[in-house]
Structures are given as structure tokens and as C-alpha cells.
Chains A and B, each alone.
Chain A
């Protein structure tokens, strides 16, 4: 079974440009999460989709970031316009929906997209 995939693996753009990151979750996983790690900092949560709906977007840094998950399958994260402080590694993760007992299933992470804004 294929894992979580992310595209591109690396992206180098200039300040002010737009970049779109893509995440394909594991088939059948309704939960999809975006995280990022900026240089020297901890991995931080950005947002959480349940199917096509945004469940929690409390970690989105500002309105330059737009995440979508049309049809509840793959997701995109667009940064427009990109700033220098947006550089970092962006991770996507997916998991099954919790069962009746509410047990949070483990999240499976993709390899990340390394974004460099110059």
C-alpha cells in the first residue's frame, strides 16, 4: 500500500512568488493534516481536514496560506505571496477517523516538501 506522498520534494522560489504544495494521503484516510518545521524550530501544526472540511485551522500563520481538499482526496497548500520566513519543510500526514471509543489513530507522514524562499 502506498504511503503519503508529497510533491514537489523541493521548491526554491523568490520572495513574492506563489507556490503550491500537494499531498496525497493514504487511500481511505479521511483525516489529513499539514505541519511545518521552520529552521531550528519544532514541528508545528498548521491545519486538519476531515474529508473535504477544515476541522481545525488554528495553526495557519496568516492569510497568505490557503489549503484546500476538494473531493476529500488530495490536498493542496498554496502560499501567496511567499515570504522569506515561509522557508522550511512542510509535512503532510493522514490517518483514519477514530472509532467509537475515540482512539486517535496514528498519523502517517509524508517525506515533506522543502521550501526555500530567496
Chain B
């Protein structure tokens, strides 16, 4: 079973920042937080990952709380192409399978 909890759906206006929350209260010390998304009819796409520190790349930012029990994925300027299901995943520090939960369906509104 997935070890994360996410809201089933969210709306965000185009051009605004989309903030997607994730709870992972049982995360252990060697587990990373990963985010993937699946745009309709495509394969899942890696977005970002982190362990303790906040991370930023060209797609998004990841904010992890100090106790590591929750995190937030931030898409700074959402576009219609960001409409997708977003998955928050915790993975151990090895080449492990991904356990997908239900994710958050993000709707970007024009």
C-alpha cells in the first residue's frame, strides 16, 4: 500500500502557483520523497525528489517539513499542460519499485 496521503483533486488558475500537499507521517530515515505525474494517456513522468532539504529544478520545487512528515510540490506558474495526476511517493534508498497511490488530480483552469 502507498505510504502517502494526498487530496484526490485540486484546482488552480492558469499562471498561478499550484501547491500540492502530501502527508507521509510514517516515512523512515532512509526514504526519499519522489513526485511523478501522469498526463492523460502518457506514461508517468518524474518531476523531483528530495530527502531532507528543499529542492528546486526546472519543473518544480519541493518543500519538505523539518520533521519530514509532509511535503509540498510547487509548480510556480501553472499552465494548462500541467493538468495531470500527481503522485507523491516515498522510496527506500535502493533501486526500488514505485508504489503508486491514487494521487491528486490537478485541474488547471484557464
Residues of chain A lying within 8 A (CB to CB) of residue B46: 106-108
Closest A residue by C-beta to B30: A102
Given A104-B92, A104-B94, A106-B49, A45 contacting B99 (CB threshold 8 A)? yes
Within 8 A of B (CB), among A10-62: 31, 33, 35, 42-45, 48, 50, 55-56, 59
Contact with A along B36-63 (1 / 0, CB 8 A): 0010001111100100000000000000
Residues of chain B lying within 8 A (CB to CB) of residue A93: 43-44, 98
B95: CB under 8 A from chain A? yes
A101: CB under 8 A from chain B? yes
How many residues of chain A have a CB within 8 Å of chain B? 30
Residues of chain A lying within 8 A (CB to CB) of residue B96: 104
Residues of chain B lying within 8 A (CB to CB) of residue A104: 32, 34, 91-96
Residues of chain A lying within 8 A (CB to CB) of residue B93: 98, 101-104
A74: CB under 8 A from chain B? no
Query: What is the CB-to-nearest-CB distance from A83 to chain B, in angstroms, rounded to a whole number?
Result: 23
Tell me which of B43, B91, B99, B101 contacts A110 (CB under 8 A): B43
Q: A109 to B44, Cβ gap below 8 A?
A: yes
Residues of chain B lying within 8 A (CB to CB) of residue A33: 97-98
Q: B97 to A56, Cβ gap below 8 A?
A: yes
A112: CB under 8 A from chain B? yes
Tell me which of B44, B91, B95 contacts A31 (CB under 8 A): B95
Query: What is the CB-to-nearest-CB distance from B73 to chain A, in angstroms, rounded to a whole number?
Result: 15
Residues of B within 8 A of A (CB): 2, 30, 32, 34, 38, 42-46, 49, 91-102
Q: List 11 A-B contacts (CB under 8 A).
A: A35-B100, A43-B44, A59-B97, A91-B43, A104-B94, A104-B95, A105-B95, A106-B34, A109-B43, A109-B45, A112-B42
